[in-house]
């Protein structure tokens, strides 16, 4: 199935869930966060789609006041087609349903995104930091992140700000 | 650490332990020798690859990719430059493509040799490890000859490679392949067909295909479960569509499909396939200028791209977002060992402590890549 | 009969039997200890070199002048021993101090006193007891108590794992080993080490030595069961699960360092020698020459005994650098489902064979 067909299928099944966004590439589609778990389950179980592999979950901070995004790359082993799902979340209250129980690999991917961006995946059974220590402060990959000055008495070195061109 | 319940004991394997393949902590709940629960704790090697990438230029990211999977640096470079070239729509000369494939496949052999050797160590066989390191050393010599580095190459650049092949490379490389091919039989005689080794690996840590896909396991681990999926064949990048090679799959020769032995065996077979690819590539190696298409300034157009390539450990994905400046807006690396390790808790449950080590070894994880 | 000889000699000097006994034992103990120490150095050097040649490397080497391990690395084991002796002795704060200190000595004593009944040649045997082989089997299992003490007192989970594994393993493998020895005792009708060797003198058809291993197919099998069980009792690969460096770090020895660790190390090598010594005595004709009629003097007897024992030790080293390690349950399966029944059948087999053909 091509990306357009997948979009149409989703629009038919969940009217109003697909957001038109001209900035996105052809294989990407933006969804509203509210019905995400149902859509994800549908993506996996619908025989025509059958996205059985979650390749990657990427968190993105779109800048200053922009939303945080959680992007999912899906791939179907059966049909060999792929799609990328973009979900924009409010910066101050980034919450989205967890798909950890649909694709088990989502467990660690979501933990990583939570660790780096502070996106809270609701319904995740074990949402802890994964790469940073448990008591680390702040969300390192957000654009407005400032590293804490000390961690257990150890001085955290600052990244030197340099101008590129 | 942890609460001890009844007759169970909580045991920390690592962070300092001989067979965690890096710095990994496994919190294991055991009932005698039987392991009832495993929780991997990672992050001990976290070096902020993604954060660093947002502060350096595109070409400066390449050395960081080296350091992610330090066992297969060439393949990590390869994935990054392929993704960048697709984003910037650069078409590199054929010679560059061939050189890259040769290097990537040589590095695949080197990486598999390390994986198989340390796997032998995990189940207690010491000697195969040294045999494999002896041969891996020769591959590193070839790399040294080509780019001066033995571990972290920074060899592939966006649009080209850092050095052209040295004089006489074809002869040296073919010489190595001729030397190496019979050695695989030697490993098989010493380790693979050893009765004790089969006892320890066959039927142990079975990863069924559907579970493997659900856990995002990829590469030799996925093929060990019998799933025919290889990015080189199914989503060809670079010039992999020009070569003929097989995709070895786990067949459950001595046990169930998807057991530790199958994962091991797939790696042995893949080395043979890599040799085939290198031979074809050297035969067809064209002449040309390898620096011709290296851009003066890397300034990709605004946009985002996700591309995956086949590293020795599986699907290595790069998600790169460009805002039009010379500094990447976001670089995300989807590392194959990360997903493989996440499945450990599922497949190693209920096995014995010794098996947990054997299963962990069969997944062939590199902690540098998991923690990034 | 060294202890007896010495006591007789002391008796001529005066009538003080207790003191004479203690003196005689002490005088005998010193050369045994020296022997173990020197033998261990040789065995360690052998292990280093043999493993290196098997692994396509050269092992310890020294070239020219300067600070190095001597020609062909001959001084390497000495350097290793010195390093172990000079190392800081660390006792973990949470360890059970008394047991922790005692454990290596108990393990070593188990190996050490077994040497008393090993016949090196016609004359050199510390005590030719009439229950010699029984005595060795009895005291060599003393070591397991030391291992359990080491594992328990270290207060470390890895050590405990190692100790429990080794206890299970050693106790289990004693059984097929002892059952195989019973075969020998049935044939020879004596428990004395020298008696067993005397029984094996002579040749079949003038060329094949009349060793117990060659006497009938069942004894041939018994030798292998005994030897493999012996390897397991020494905790050597493929049965090294109590140490299992890739799983248990160093098993029961995890917390030990320096001199105390050296004692464990020494007893491992001493145990290898004892197992080989028993195998040589019971199955391979002891100090007797394999060539009919010649080279049977006491000096050659020592040579034959040592070379046979060293060959078996070489085989153990060969095993270690070739095989992967078994899992704990597979190890028990091999013992209880494989070796023990076969060893049982062996006893009947030898008995019947002996009745019908002997």
Clarify whether residues C234 and C125 are in a common domain: yes
Residue C191: is its pLDDT beyond 80?
yes
Sheet strands (E) in chain B: 9-13, 25-31, 34-41, 156-157, 160-161, 303-311, 314-322, 330-334
Q: Which residue has the higher pLDDT, B254 or C295?
A: B254
Clarify whether residues C98 and C66 are in a common domain: no
Q: Which residues of B244-257 are buried (b: 16+ CB within 10 A; e: fewer)?
A: ebeebbbebebbbb
Residue C285: DSSP 8-state: -
User: Can you state the angle between helices B94-122 and B353-363, rounded to 10 degrees?
Assistant: 170
Mean pLDDT of the region C204-213 = 78
Q: Which residue has the higher pLDDT, A136 or C312?
A: C312
Residues of C in contact with B134 (CB under 8 A): 56
Q: Which of B287-296, C116-125, C181-190 has maximum average pLDDT?
A: C181-190
Nearest CB to B342: which of A61, A105, A116?
A105
Burial of C13 (0-12, 13-18, 19+ CB in 10 A): exposed
What is the structure's pLDDT at B204? 86
For chain A, the average pLDDT equals 82
Last residue of a domain, one of C54, C86, C118: C86
Mean pLDDT of the region C336-350 = 89
CB atoms within 10 A of CB B202: 19
Q: Which chains touch B (3 or more CB pairs under 8 A)?
A: A, C
Q: Which of B30-39, B262-271, C54-63, C238-247 has maximum average pLDDT?
A: B262-271
Owner of token pair 């295909």? B209
pLDDT digits (tens, 9 = 90+) for B3-57: 555 678 888 887 888 777 778 888 888 887 888 888 888 888 888 888 888 888 8
Grade residue A165 by pLDDT with cuts at 50, 70 and 90. very low
State the Cα–Cα distance between residues A158 and A164, nearest whole angstrom: 18
| C174, C136 contact by CB (below 8 A) | no
Residue C2: is its pLDDT beyond 80?
no
Clarify whether residues C103 and C7 are in a common domain: no
Sheet strands (E) in chain C: 203-204, 208-209
Nearest CB to A77: which of B227, B321, B342?
B227
For chain C, the average pLDDT equals 84
What is the structure's pLDDT at B36? 85
Mean pLDDT of the region C60-86 = 80
Grade residue A162 by pLDDT with cuts at 50, 70 and 90. low
Q: Do A58 and B319 touch (CB under 8 A)?
A: yes
Domain coordinates in residue numbering, chain A: 3-132
pLDDT digits (tens, 9 = 90+) for B68-102: 888 888 899 898 998 888 888 888 888 888 988 99
The two structure tokens encoding residue B35: 């392991």
C-alpha dihedral (B238, B242, B246, B248), degrees to nearest 10: 0
Clarify whether residues C131 and C56 are in a common domain: no
Owner of token pair 């499945």? B343
Task: Provide the percentage of residues in chain B whose pLDDT is more than 70.
Answer: 98
What is the structure's pLDDT at C188? 85
Nearest CB to B130: which of C56, C161, C326?
C56
Domain that holds residue C329: 94-357
Q: C313: closest CA among C55, C103, C40?
A: C40
Last residue of a domain, one of C66, C86, C106: C86
Nearest CB to B127: which of C55, C161, C328?
C55
Grade residue C358 by pLDDT with cuts at 50, 70 and 90. low
State the Cα–Cα distance between residues C264 and C111, nearest whole angstrom: 10
Say which residues have a Cβ less than 8 Å from residue A12's Cβ, sequence separation at least 6: none
Nearest CB to C247: which of B120, B197, B353?
B353
What is the structure's pLDDT at A129? 87
Mean pLDDT of the region C305-310 = 89
Clarify whether residues C103 and C82 are in a common domain: no
Say if C157 is an interface residue toward chain B (CB within 8 Å).
yes
Longest dimension (CA), chain B: 70
Q: B40: closest CA among A111, A101, A113?
A: A111
Nearest CB to B308: which of A52, A55, A165?
A55
| B41, B342 contact by CB (below 8 A) | no
Clarify whether residues C131 and C230 are in a common domain: yes
Min CA distance, C93 vs chain B (Å)? 18
Q: Do B48 and A104 touch (CB under 8 A)?
A: no
Residue C72: DSSP 8-state: G
Say if C58 is an interface residue toward chain B (CB within 8 Å).
no
Last residue of a domain, one of C86, C118, C134: C86
Interface test with B, best of A3, A21, A63, A105 (most B CBs within 10 A): A105
State the Cα–Cα distance between residues C175 and C273, nearest whole angstrom: 19
Clarify whether residues C133 and C186 are in a common domain: yes
pLDDT digits (tens, 9 = 90+) for B310-364: 888 888 889 888 888 888 888 888 888 888 888 888 888 888 888 888 888 888 8
Q: B66: closest CA among B154, B158, B159, B162?
A: B154
pLDDT digits (tens, 9 = 90+) for C144-185: 888 888 888 888 888 888 888 888 888 888 889 888 888 888
What is the structure's pLDDT at C287? 83
Residue A160: is its pLDDT beyond 70?
no
Say if B130 is an interface residue toward chain C (CB within 8 Å).
yes
Number of Cα atoms under 13 Å in the Cβ half of residue A61: 22
| DSSP-based three-state secondary structure for B23 | coil
Say if B208 is an interface residue toward chain A (CB within 8 Å).
no
Say if A108 is an interface residue toward chain B (CB within 8 Å).
yes
The two structure tokens encoding residue C125: 């045997």
Say if B317 is an interface residue toward chain A (CB within 8 Å).
yes
| Prediction pTM value | 0.87
Min CA distance, C323 vs chain B (Å)? 6
Domain with residues A3-132, CATH architecture: 2-Layer Sandwich (3.30)
Residue C93: is its pLDDT beyond 50?
yes
Q: Tell me how many residue pairs between chain B and chain C have CB atoms under 8 A apart.
A: 76
Mean pLDDT of the region C79-98 = 85
DSSP string, A91-158: SSS-EEE--TTTSTTHHHHHHHHHHHH--EEET-TT---SSS-TT--S-TTSTT----SEETTEEPPP
State the Cα–Cα distance between residues B318 and B88, nearest whole angstrom: 14
State the Cα–Cα distance between residues C79 and C73, nearest whole angstrom: 10
Residue B252: is its pLDDT beyond 70?
yes
Clarify whether residues C57 and C143 are in a common domain: no
Q: Do C245 and B197 touch (CB under 8 A)?
A: no
pLDDT digits (tens, 9 = 90+) for A41-80: 888 888 878 888 888 888 888 877 788 888 888 888 888 8
Residues of A in contact with B48 (CB under 8 A): 140
3-state helix, strand, coil in chain A (%, to 5): 20, 25, 55
Q: C183: closest CA among C228, C140, C226?
A: C226
Clarify whether residues C117 and C163 are in a common domain: yes
Clarify whether residues C251 and C316 are in a common domain: yes
What is the structure's pLDDT at B6? 60
Q: Do B214 and A105 touch (CB under 8 A)?
A: yes
Residue C261: is its pLDDT beyond 80?
yes
DSSP string, B123-188: TT--HHHHHHHHHHHHHHHHHHHHHS-SS----EETTEESSPPPTTHHHHHHHHHHHHHHHHHHHI
Residue A164: is its pLDDT beyond 60?
no
Say if A141 is an interface residue toward chain B (CB within 8 Å).
yes
Domain coordinates in residue numbering, chain B: 9-371
CB atoms within 10 A of CB C345: 13
| B219, B313 contact by CB (below 8 A) | yes
Q: Do B213 and A53 touch (CB under 8 A)?
A: yes
| DSSP-based three-state secondary structure for B364 | coil
Min CA distance, B38 vs chain A (Å)? 14
What is the structure's pLDDT at B285? 86
| A46, A39 contact by CB (below 8 A) | no
Residues for chain A: how many in total?
Answer: 165
The two structure tokens encoding residue B245: 């090679």
Say which residues have a Cβ less than 8 Å from residue C23's Cβ, sequence separation at least 6: C6, C10
Clarify whether residues C78 and C213 are in a common domain: no
Mean pLDDT of the region B242-268 = 86
Owner of token pair 């359990």? C148
Domain B9-371 has CATH 1.10.645.10: yes
State the Cα–Cα distance between residues B47 and B228, nearest whole angstrom: 34
Residues of C in contact with B196 (CB under 8 A): 238, 323-326
State the Cα–Cα distance between residues B240 and B200, nearest whole angstrom: 36
Nearest CB to A84: which of B214, B306, B342?
B306
Which residue of chain B comes nearest to C319, CA vs CA? B125
Q: Beta strand pairing status for A154-155 and A150-151?
A: antiparallel
The two structure tokens encoding residue B304: 């985002």
Phi, psi dihedrals of residue C302, rounded to the nearest 5°: -60, -45
State the Cα–Cα distance between residues C346 and C229, nearest whole angstrom: 15
What is the structure's pLDDT at B1? 45
Owner of token pair 């589609």? A29
pLDDT digits (tens, 9 = 90+) for B161-198: 888 888 888 899 899 999 998 889 888 888 888 888 88
């Amino acid at each position: 199935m091509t990306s357009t067909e997948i979009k149409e299928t989703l629009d038919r099944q969940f009217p109003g869930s697909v957001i038109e966004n001209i900035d996105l590439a052809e294989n990407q589609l933006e969804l509203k966060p509210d019905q995400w778990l149902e859509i994800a389950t549908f993506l996996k179980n619908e025989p025509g789609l059958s996205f059985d592999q979650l390749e990657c979950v990427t968190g993105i901070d779109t800048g200053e006041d922009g939303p945080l995004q959680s992007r999912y790359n899906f791939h179907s082993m059966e049909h060999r087609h792929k799609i990328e799902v973009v979900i924009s979340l409010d910066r101050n209250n980034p919450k989205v349903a967890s798909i950890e129980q649909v694709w088990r690999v989502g467990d660690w991917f979501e933990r990583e995104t939570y660790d780096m961006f502070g996106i809270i995946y609701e319904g995740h059974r074990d949402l802890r930091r994964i790469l940073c220590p448990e008591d680390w402060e702040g969300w390192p990959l957000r654009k407005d992140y400032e590293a804490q000055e000390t961690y257990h008495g150890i001085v955290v070195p600052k990244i030197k700000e340099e101008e590129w061109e | 650490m942890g609460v001890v319940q009844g007759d169970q004991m909580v045991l920390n394997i690592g962070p300092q332990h001989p067979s965690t393949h890096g710095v990994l902590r496994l919190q294991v709940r055991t009932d005698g020798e039987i392991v009832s629960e495993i929780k991997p704790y990672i992050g001990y090697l976290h070096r902020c690859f993604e954060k660093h990438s947002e502060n350096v230029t595109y070409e400066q990211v390449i050395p960081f990719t080296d350091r992610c999977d330090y066992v297969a640096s060439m393949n990590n470079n390869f994935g990054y430059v392929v993704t960048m070239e697709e984003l910037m729509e650069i078409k590199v000369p054929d010679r560059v493509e061939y050189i890259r494939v040769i290097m990537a496949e040589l590095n695949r052999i080197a990486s598999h040799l390390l994986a198989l050797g340390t796997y032998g160590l995990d189940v207690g066989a010491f000697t195969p490890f040294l045999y494999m390191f002896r041969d891996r050393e020769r591959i590193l010599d070839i790399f040294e000859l080509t780019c001066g580095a033995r571990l972290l190459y920074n060899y592939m650049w966006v649009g080209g490679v850092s050095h052209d092949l040295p004089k006489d490379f074809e002869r040296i490389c073919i010489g190595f392949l001729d030397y190496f091919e019979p050695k695989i039989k030697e490993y098989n005689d010493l380790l693979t067909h050893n009765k004790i080794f089969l006892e320890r690996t066959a039927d142990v840590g079975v990863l069924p295909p559907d579970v493997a896909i659900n856990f995002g396991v990829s590469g030799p681990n996925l093929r060990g479960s019998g799933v025919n999926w290889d990015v080189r064949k199914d989503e060809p990048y670079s010039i992999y569509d020009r070569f003929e090679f097989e995709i070895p799959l786990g067949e459950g020769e001595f046990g169930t499909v998807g057991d530790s032995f199958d994962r091991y065996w797939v790696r042995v077979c893949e080395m043979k396939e890599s040799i085939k690819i290198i031979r074809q590539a050297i035969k067809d190696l064209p002449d040309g200028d390898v620096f011709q298409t290296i851009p003066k300034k890397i300034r990709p157009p605004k946009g985002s791209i996700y591309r995956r390539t086949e590293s020795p450990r599986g699907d290595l994905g790069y998600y790169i977002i460009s805002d039009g400046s010379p500094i990447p807006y976001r670089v995300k690396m989807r590392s194959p060992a990360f997903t493989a390790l996440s499945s450990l808790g599922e497949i190693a449950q209920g096995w014995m402590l010794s098996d947990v080590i054997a299963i962990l070894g069969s997944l062939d994880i590199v902690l540098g890549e998991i923690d990034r | 009969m060294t202890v007896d000889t010495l006591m007789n000699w002391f008796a001529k000097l005066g009538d003080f039997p207790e003191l004479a006994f203690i003196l005689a034992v002490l005088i005998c103990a010193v050369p045994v200890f020296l022997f173990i120490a020197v033998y261990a150095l040789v065995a360690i050097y052998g292990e280093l070199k043999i493993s290196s040649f098997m692994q396509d490397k050269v092992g310890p080497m020294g070239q020219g002048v300067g600070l190095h391990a001597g020609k062909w690395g001959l001084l390497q084991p000495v350097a290793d021993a010195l390093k172990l002796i000079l190392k800081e002795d660390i006792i973990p704060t949470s360890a059970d101090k008394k047991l922790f200190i005692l454990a290596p000595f108990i393990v070593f004593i188990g190996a050490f006193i077994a040497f008393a009944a090993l016949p090196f040649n016609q004359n050199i045997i510390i005590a030719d007891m009439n229950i010699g082989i029984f005595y060795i089997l009895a005291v060599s299992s003393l070591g397991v108590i030391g291992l359990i003490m080491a594992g328990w007192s270290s207060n470390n989970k890895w050590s405990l794992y190692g100790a429990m594994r080794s206890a299970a393993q050693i106790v289990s493998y004693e059984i097929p080993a002892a059952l195989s020895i019973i075969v020998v005792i049935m044939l020879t009708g004596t428990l004395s080490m020298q008696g067993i060797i005397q029984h094996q003198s002579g040749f079949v058809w003038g060329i094949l030595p009349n060793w117990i291993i060659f006497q009938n197919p069942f004894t041939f099998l018994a030798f292998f069961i005994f030897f493999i069980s012996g390897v397991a009792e020494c905790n050597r690969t493929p049965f090294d699960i109590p140490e299992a460096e890739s799983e248990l770090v160093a098993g029961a020895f995890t917390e030990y360092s320096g001199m105390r660790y050296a004692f464990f190390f020494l007893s491992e090598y001493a145990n290898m020698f004892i197992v080989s010594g028993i195998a040589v005595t019971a199955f391979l004709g002891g100090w007797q020459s394999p060539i009919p009629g010649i080279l049977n003097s006491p000096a050659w007897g020592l040579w034959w005994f040592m070379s046979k024992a060293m060959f078996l030790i070489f085989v153990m080293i060969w095993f270690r650098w070739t095989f992967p390690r078994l899992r704990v349950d597979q190890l028990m399966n091999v013992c209880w489902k494989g070796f023990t029944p076969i060893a049982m059948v062996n006893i009947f087999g030898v008995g019947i064979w002996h009745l019908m053909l002997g």
